[in-house]
Amino acid sequence: MFKKYSMRFYNYRLLAFVVIASVFGLVIINSADSSFTVKQALGLIGSLAWMIIVSFIDYNRILKHYRLWYILAIILLVTVLVVGATVGGAKRWIPLGSIRLQPSELAKILLVLFLSQVLVMNKSKINTWRFLIFMALVLLLPLVLLVVEPDLSQTILLFLILFVVFFCADLPYKKLGKVLAVVVPLAVVLLIYIQNPQQKLLKPYQWLRVMAFFDPENYDDSVYQQNNAVQAIGSGGLTGKGLNTDDPTSLLNADFIPEAHTDFIFAALGEQLGFVGCIVALGLLAAIVFECILVARRTRNKAGRLVAMGIAAHVGLQTLFNVGVVTRLLPNTGLALPFFSYGVSSLVALYTAIGIVLNISLQREPYKEKDIYSYDFVDVKEYRDNRRGRRQSG
C-alpha cells in the first residue's frame, strides 16, 4: 500500500494552500462564534494528520476497491435515513457523541473514486448508450437517497461533480450534446413546475427558498438571511470592521446571520475583513482548484486524472454555490464554504480528497505504456535504469 516516493514531487504548494485556507477559516469561525473554535481546531489537527497519511497511500490501491467505496457510500446514505438526527425537517446527520457525521460529505468523495475507476476500466464502452444508461441507473440510487433526506443542494452538487468526471473521461461530444438536449429542456420544465404552489417535488421550506429567489418582494421572510448577508458584506467596505469587533452596527453581533460560522461564513468574512479578505479567501480556494487541475494534467494515469478533476470540481462548484447563495445570486442551498465553514465532517472529507490528490502528484513520473491503466506501477528508479540499459545495449 505504501511505496517509496521522491519527495521532490510532493505538492507542497497544494498542501500550503489547504492549510492556510483552513487556518484562515478557523480565525473567522472564532470571530463569528468562538464556542465552535476548539472543536474545529481539533478537527483540523486530526484531518491534517490523516491527510498526510493518505498522501503516502498508493491511490491505485485505493481505486482497486472501487466496489467497496460505492457500497460504503450507499450504506452511509441509508444509515442517515434510519438513525439520523432530524434538524430543520431534514435527516442529514448521524449523531456520534459530541459530533455529528454528515454522510453526504464522505459519499461525494467515495463516488468520485468509484466512477473514476469504472470509467477507466470501461474506456472502450464509454461511447455506447448501453453503458451510459447503466451508469446513470447505478448513480441514480445515491442521488435519490440524497433527495429523500432531503438535501437538494447536495444532490445537485453531486450530479454536477459526476458530470464533470464523465466529461473528462473523453465522453464523445455527440453523446454529450444528445444528453444535454434531453437534460436542459427537462430542467426548464422542472423549474417551471416547482414554482407552482401545488407542486409535490419540494418540501415547503425548499419551495419558499426557490420562490424567494425569483420573487423576493412577496417572499421577503424567506430571504431575510441572504439580505442580511449582503448587507454585512457591503458594510465591511474595503478592509472590514476587524475581527471580534464590538461594533454595535455589526450584523453578526446582532445575530441577524444565525449561521455565520457555517453556511454564511463568507458574510462574516466580508463584514470583518472587507473586500480584501474576500479576495484573499477566494484566491486561496481558486489556487486549490488550480493545483488539482495541474495534478490532473501532469499525471499519465487516466484514473488519477479523473479523480483529481472530480475533486477540483467538488471544491470549485461548492465554492461557487456557497458564495452565490451568500451574495443572493443563487437560492439559499445550505452548502458550506470548503475549508472555511465550521464542520468536522466536511474537513475530514476534503482533507481525505486532498490527500489522494497529493499522492497522485507524487506519481506523476512517466511509466511504461502498458502500466498506465494498471495498479502495479513500476518503480521510478527501476524504470530509468531499465531505459538506460536498453539504450546502451542498442
Q: Return the exposure string of 250-282: e unless at least 16 CB atoms fall within 10 Å of the residue's CB, then b.
A: bbbeeebbebbbbbbbbbbbbbbbbeebbeebe
pLDDT of residue 323: 94
Rounded CA gap, 103 and 295, in Å? 27
Cα dihedral value 311, 316, 317, 318, nearest 10: 90
Alpha carbons within 13 A on the beta-carbon side of 177:
3
pLDDT tens track of the chain, all 394 residues? 556 777 878 899 999 999 999 999 999 999 888 889 999 999 999 999 999 999 999 999 999 999 999 999 999 999 998 888 777 667 788 887 777 888 999 999 999 999 999 999 998 888 888 998 999 999 999 999 998 887 888 988 999 999 999 989 888 778 778 878 888 888 888 777 777 777 777 777 777 777 777 766 666 666 777 888 888 898 889 988 888 876 666 777 556 777 788 888 999 999 999 999 999 999 999 999 999 999 999 887 899 999 999 999 999 999 999 999 999 888 887 789 999 999 888 999 999 999 999 999 988 754 444 443 333 344 445 555 555 665 555 5
* Residue with the three cell numbers 441509508: 78
Alpha carbons within 13 A on the beta-carbon side of 197:
1
Cα dihedral value 70, 72, 73, 75, nearest 10: 120
Spell out the residues 6+ positions from residue 349 whose beta carbon is closer than 8 angstroms to its own: 105, 106, 108, 109
* Residue with the three cell numbers 451510459: 132
Residue 363 burial (CB count, 10 A): 22
Q: What is the DSSP letter of 34?
A: G
What are the boundaries of each domain within the chain?
A: 7-384
CB 261 within 8 A of CB 341: yes
pLDDT of residue 108: 94
* Residue with the three cell numbers 409535490: 200
Phi, psi (rounded to 5 degrees) for 39: -65, -40
pLDDT of residue 211: 75
Q: What is the DSSP letter of 243?
A: T
What is 257-270 written as a DSSP string? -TTTTTTTHHHHHH
- For 66-150, strand residue ranges (E) read 85-87, 90-96, 99-101
CB 40 within 8 A of CB 344: yes
Identify which of 156, 256, 265 has the alpha carbon closest to the alpha carbon of residue 273.
265
For residue 333, give the C-alpha cell: 442551498
Cα dihedral value 221, 223, 224, 227, nearest 10: -150
CB 92 within 8 A of CB 147: no
Cα Rg of the chain, angstroms? 22
pLDDT of residue 373: 38
Cis peptide before 366 (omega within 30 of 0): no
